[in-house]
Structure 1
């Protein structure tokens, strides 16, 4: 039996509680059942999207059937600031209120997600100027670097729960589904979360992640909204999006980006993000410029800036491809010293990129690049030995 099928079979064996008519059972384990019966805190992670809302309402009913006290349930929402739809805070509040669970809203202290994208590019420019990176680093989060989720949500919610519910057993409910993506295909029903409550910590705090709708599909989720009377975010009900996250998500489809751009309340954020594309020369998605979604919303000057950025991106990629492949980033970079000829190629490739972003050219010659690599190798050696 394939591993996923084994997980499904194991989960099915624990599904001994009646599901809502017309909806699938929730995925639950014997450990989660025991924790619920022991009165663990149940915390619903609410984004305002369809999956987290469906998970909240479906689990609430199961908790009632298990005799879990409602006084030990709460919802939590990580507010991403300008990146959020304007209606998301109110939608989240309405969903929590209709489910009769108190809501806590948390935010990253160092600014919102748009600030984080801007800060990432500014930091990347400083590192590139200092020849601490081989290629210029763009502002956006990506499939391989999901700081929009890790830093802005998990790293804000986790510590908040550990503080608020210190010494408690906490079940953190997330509306993740296996059919959402290849990366989520092996989502477990439940697992210990040791990031913010280490095993054996002195307070006795324990956090477990629970994914009760892991086996549901999108149709099940929408059906739950109709059956249970759950508020549906305007992104779906008015603008026809298939999923909700930020106004503009680095994972969003062309359809969903277009749906977001159609909402007048999202226009200002659209122009701000396109402005970051224009300044950075990095498209919002690896193969798609956000500027191309609704160019009619942009001023003539901003459209011209984007066209220059596209040309500069092509030049930058060509220049970076011309640099010695054997010196590209690996753990413990740089891997070796460049020859003088290689160092001269690096200096020549960096020159127009530095100029494009108005950065100081601190290492303009091959010998200067070699000297910098020598410094970097010494520093890397110290780090590896410490």
Structure 2
């Protein structure tokens, strides 16, 4: 039985107006605690204001990099709320395929002399194509096809308490990728002012269970099993889950073939070396030596040949 959530939402006049006019409300869910609590809080809010538009949950499945429990948590949440769960995926391949394909594309660019240095395959905190390409683009495309004739409010569980960057995020913003001619598309950070205890309390009150990444393996957050933003402790927790072992080995293999560590100078291979064969460990050692050699060679490139806007600026 659905119990109305008491977790408050933060809302703007613009978002409330769209919802009162019957806009579609699509709540993004990952399986993590914040998206769980956000869905519960937004559902209760929509009931209170008499929202009559369509409501759905949306989960972007990132493939092999996902925790095995992520989709089941989203499915249970959808059943609890009585919502349809729309699962979307990148047609060109999952997150691991994107990293592998990026390595091949970057090698081709290097061979063609269209870049100065070899480029890493991984996404980074400042280059999060993992989010923009495999979540935002895929979700917005699916929502526009599903709701072609009404405004769309795309809801996320972002909270200001999570990080310095998120503390500066707005309650809502126009979302260009969702806008259509004469139809609004906006993003809404509905629980942006919520605290972690309030989030956990909302889930507990609903009698829903937290993702096993928290309860069984002790992670502090749920995203990809091995995330570019993860702490070392969370990476170790992910490696302790047997479901993630094959992914771990595949990602370490990409470290070896690319000679780029997963997180800057921090090698994923060092997180759980006991999961690797002796041959793989030897490849890791060789990759680290090759990485040092690559950096030493790149340091010898004359300054005037390095990339700047408008590159190339001279002929070598």
TM-score where L is the length of structure 1: 0.79
Offset at residue 92 of structure 1 (A): 1.2
Q: Could you tell me which residue of structure 1 aligns to residue 310 of structure 2? A: 332
Offset at residue 20 of structure 1 (A): 5.1
Aligned length: 313
SS of 2:292 mapped into structure 1: helix
Matched, 1:46 2:29: yes
Q: Could you tell me which residue of structure 1 aligns to residue 47 of structure 2? A: 64
Matched, 1:79 2:79: no
Distance 2:236 2:161 in 1: 23
Q: 1:128 to 1:218 in 2, by over 3 A?
A: same
Q: 1:60 to 1:325 in 2, by over 3 A?
A: same
Matched, 1:322 2:300: yes
Asked whether the equivalents of residues 45 and 52 of structure 1 are also in contact (C-alpha less than 8 Å), the reply is yes
The structure that has the greater radius of gyration is 1
Asked whether the equivalents of residues 162 and 205 of structure 1 are also in contact (C-alpha less than 8 Å), the reply is no
Q: Deviations over 1:5-60 (max 9, x none)?
A: xxxxxxxxxxxxxx955x4x311111222222212111111111111111000111
Q: Where do residues 1-386 of structure 1 align in structure 2 (5 Å cutoff)? A: 21=6, 23=7, 25-69=8-52, 72-198=54-180, 201=181, 204-337=182-315, 370=316
Asked whether the equivalents of residues 5 and 40 of structure 2 are also in contact (C-alpha less than 8 Å), the reply is no
Q: Could you tell me which residue of structure 2 aligns to residue 356 of structure 1? A: none
Asked whether the equivalents of residues 179 and 185 of structure 2 are also in contact (C-alpha less than 8 Å), the reply is yes
Q: Deviations over 1:47-97 (max 9, x none)?
A: 11111111000111111111113x611111111111111222222111111
Asked whether the equivalents of residues 108 and 156 of structure 1 are also in contact (C-alpha less than 8 Å), the reply is yes
Compare relative contact order (CA 8 Å, sep 6+) and give the higher one, 1 or 2: 2
Asked whether the equivalents of residues 95 and 231 of structure 1 are also in contact (C-alpha less than 8 Å), the reply is no
Distance 1:327 1:221 in 2: 51
SS of 2:165 mapped into structure 1: coil
TM-score where L is the length of structure 2: 0.95
Asked whether the equivalents of residues 40 and 170 of structure 1 are also in contact (C-alpha less than 8 Å), the reply is yes
Offset at residue 182 of structure 1 (A): 2.4
Offset at residue 197 of structure 1 (A): 2.0
Asked whether the equivalents of residues 23 and 153 of structure 2 are also in contact (C-alpha less than 8 Å), the reply is yes
Q: Could you tell me which residue of structure 2 aligns to residue 10 of structure 1? A: none
SS of 1:195 mapped into structure 2: helix
Distance 1:20 1:114 in 2: 36
Distance 1:209 1:229 in 2: 28
Distance 1:49 1:328 in 2: 41
